[in-house]
């Protein structure tokens, strides 16, 4: 397993904590998933009202790495401010950086994203940027100080899977030494397996588990899919080809007259 800012994870499954029917189901889903990272969204009001303390207690008891995010931020200033608040609340330098540019697709504003990443990296944050699958943007994020890239598979919460496999494969080829995470848009375990088969180091998802009819069962299914995809990628899979190739050789075959 590749390291993320010097931290080696037990597996490549990162799971979100929003939208679950209840805290109990959230806890069960995480325990069944074996996810190594929990993403959490900072709520500004919780610092004053002390709301959500039971939730934070559950997350701490899970014993997973916490990745706070700047979900819902639309400007550089808003994202940077939220990141600083998250560092104080959670005591971690990790931050999943989101700067949303389009409200319908929740596509990131890549110009603001790069600027916010530069500011946070210079301030000692270890930035996990939610970005598109554009290679030029990816390169600029790396030069801004990011050591991880998190391209989307599809719009957040859409469940469409890997919309542009060519772009994701190209990113893996262009940045072979950079930890890559497919973030957003996964709806089925098979899609997570496909991402891992492409050589990605992790997948991050939330809605597909939290909004399933059985979140606990779906969390378990995704865990198995991530494991299967990881094993497949490291097993050096065969290359696809246009022509058929017989599994039984012609040498030694009996010919009847």
- Catalytic residue annotation: 96
CA separation for the pair 147, 2 (Å, rounded): 12
98 three-class SS: coil
CA separation for the pair 95, 66 (Å, rounded): 9
CA separation for the pair 16, 186 (Å, rounded): 12
Is 206 among the annotated ligand-binding positions? yes
Is residue 20 within 8 A of residue 210, CB to CB? The reply is yes
CA separation for the pair 247, 62 (Å, rounded): 48
Is 184 among the annotated ligand-binding positions? yes
Rounded alpha-carbon distances, angstroms, from residue 93 to 46, 107, 109, 241, 245: 20, 24, 23, 45, 52
For residue 169, give both structure tokens: 């494969």
The partner residues of 65 in beta bridges, in order of sequence, read 37
165 three-class SS: helix
Helix, strand, coil fractions of the chain, as percent rounded to 5:
40, 15, 45
Which residues contact residue 206 at a Cβ distance below 8 angstroms, ignoring those fewer than 6 apart?
15, 16, 17, 18, 19, 39, 157
For residue 129, give both structure tokens: 């940027």
Binding residues: 157, 184-185, 206-207
Binding residues for 1-deoxy-D-xylulose 5-phosphate: 157, 184-185, 206-207
């Amino acid at each position: 397993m590749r390291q993320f800012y010097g931290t080696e994870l037990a597996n490549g499954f990162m799971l979100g904590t929003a939208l679950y029917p209840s805290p109990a189901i959230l806890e069960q889903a995480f325990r069944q998933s074996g996810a190594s990272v929990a993403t959490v969204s900072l709520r500004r009001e919780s610092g004053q009202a002390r709301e959500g303390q039971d939730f934070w207690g559950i997350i701490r008891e899970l014993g997973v790495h916490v990745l706070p995010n700047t979900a819902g931020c639309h400007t550089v200033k808003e994202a940077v401010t939220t990141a600083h608040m998250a560092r104080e609340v959670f005591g971690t330098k990790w931050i999943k950086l989101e700067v949303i540019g389009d409200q319908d697709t929740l596509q990131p504003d890549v110009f603001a994203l790069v600027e916010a990443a530069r500011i946070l990296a210079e301030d000692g944050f270890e930035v996990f940027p939610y970005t598109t699958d554009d290679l030029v943007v990816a390169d600029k994020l790396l030069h801004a100080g990011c050591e991880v890239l998190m391209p989307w598979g599809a719009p957040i919460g859409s469940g469409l899977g890997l919309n542009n496999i060519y772009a994701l494969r190209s990113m893996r080829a262009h940045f072979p030494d950079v930890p890559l995470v497919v973030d957003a848009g996964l709806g089925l375990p098979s899609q997570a397996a496909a991402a891992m088969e492409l050589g990605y180091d992790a997948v991050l998802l939330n809605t597909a588990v939290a909004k399933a009819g059985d979140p606990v069962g779906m969390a378990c299914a995704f865990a198995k899919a991530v494991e299967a995809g990881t094993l497949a990628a490291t097993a050096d899979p065969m290359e696809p080809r246009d022509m058929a190739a017989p599994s039984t050789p012609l040498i030694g075959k009996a010919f009847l007259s």
